[in-house]
Structure 1
């Protein structure tokens, strides 16, 4: 009986459904509060005990990452429009970083994905499977012919890691005072751009 009182009286029919419902509840809570949430918060909203949520997500950090990934579709749509027509990888990547950093205040889930919590408590968070999937989805939407610039699947994954680490660093420590958007673009084109183009000259 206790089980049926949870989940709004309608228990999930599979583990996949349970996981999706937990993530959906977390996304809704983050959207309302604009901040990180706990396993207890999500369990309470679903009417289940914390151990039920832990069955699917071993930690609050794991749930937060999954929730962040699941909730940034709107951001990805806006980013796609922002970089539309940019066929040069340096220009596209530069704009992606600048745009992402300006979108964090509008997209709390995105801020959580890039937040310092993961770098200090779980350093692997920014290179987690969820974050990598997010990054690959991001750059696959660019109008860049990656193969033309020497990128195969393996090197694209490395590029995604580099992009995530770069965005995380600017999110955590934007500078004092922070660079303007124009100054940040110039900085990224010079230094990040050199790394991106290096794949073209170093391919075998």
Structure 2
């Protein structure tokens, strides 16, 4: 690691350097909003832009790394919040509601989900990286996913659907954003049946052959036998 600059306090490792850079990004976003410049981050750290470039190629990469670090911390809060819940519908509904209620207005998240001035596409919460983070959280929960019919693919689909729902409700909350019980009822009503589907589809009754029609069977027994 290069040790020049850093306002007289040189990081002892690359990991510490990255942590300090991201902390500076957090401060910039909190004070000035998401439209940060790499030069401003470097100035706050007491280093040149070239020093920051060694770790991050551009300002968007800084925002992404800062946002993902914040998300990782938020995941711990979500897992703690739903501790003790074992029903998949209750867990997912509460995870979504908690996310929507606590991430709305977050400057770091807004910087990821809002289009840049140069027209660059918004960041998707359903990216492979985001889905992997969500899956990690799902595996920390107290839900027996396999018991409820979720194999690896189904659980990944659920993670994607969870993230898409959160992103949709954050970026377009509607004229009267739902919160509290109304938010949870809305999510449960429309996502609840989908969450129950893998369990229902795994039941053996769906594989049983259809039973004979009762009316047809009755007619057959009452037919007059030929003499």
Residues 5-57 of structure 1 deviation map (CA, whole Å, 9 limit, x = unaligned): x2233555655444333223223433x42732332222222222334323432
Check 1:202–1:116 CA distance in 2 against 1; reply closer, same or farther (3 A cut).
farther
Give 1:147's aligned residue: 146
Check 1:87–1:3 CA distance in 2 against 1; reply closer, same or farther (3 A cut).
closer
Take 1:22 and 1:58, find their aligned partners in 2: how far apart are those partners? Answer: 13
Task: Name structure 1 gaps, 5 residues minimum.
Answer: none
Take 2:174 and 2:28, find their aligned partners in 1: how far apart are those partners? Answer: 31
Residues 181-201 of structure 1 deviation map (CA, whole Å, 9 limit, x = unaligned): 222212211212222222334
Maintained 8 Å contact 2:94/2:184:
yes
Give 1:117's aligned residue: 115
Take 1:96 and 1:125, find their aligned partners in 2: how far apart are those partners? Answer: 18
Paired residues for 1:71-90 under 5 Å: 71-72=70-71, 75-90=74-89
1:138 aligns with 2:170: no
TM-score, structure 1 as length reference: 0.77
Residues 37-96 of structure 1 deviation map (CA, whole Å, 9 limit, x = unaligned): 332222222222334323432332322121122134553343233212211111111111
Paired residues for 1:1-204 under 5 Å: 4=4, 6-12=5-11, 15-30=14-29, 32-33=30-31, 35-36=33-34, 37-72=36-71, 75-104=74-103, 108-113=107-112, 115-117=113-115, 121-202=120-201
Maintained 8 Å contact 1:65/1:130:
no
Check 1:35–1:150 CA distance in 2 against 1; reply closer, same or farther (3 A cut).
farther
Take 1:129 and 1:25, find their aligned partners in 2: how far apart are those partners? Answer: 27
What is the root-mean-square deviation of aligned Cα atoms in Å?
A: 3.1
Q: Secondary structure at the match of 1:179?
A: coil
TM-score, structure 2 as length reference: 0.71
Which piece of structure 1 moves more, 148-157 or 95-104?
148-157
Take 1:161 and 1:34, find their aligned partners in 2: how far apart are those partners? Answer: 32
Take 2:148 and 2:22, find their aligned partners in 1: how far apart are those partners? Answer: 37
Check 1:58–1:81 CA distance in 2 against 1; reply closer, same or farther (3 A cut).
same
Take 2:109 and 2:202, find their aligned partners in 1: how far apart are those partners? Answer: 33
Check 1:158–1:42 CA distance in 2 against 1; reply closer, same or farther (3 A cut).
farther
Q: Secondary structure at the match of 1:56?
A: coil
Check 1:64–1:128 CA distance in 2 against 1; reply closer, same or farther (3 A cut).
farther
Take 1:27 and 1:183, find their aligned partners in 2: how far apart are those partners? Answer: 33
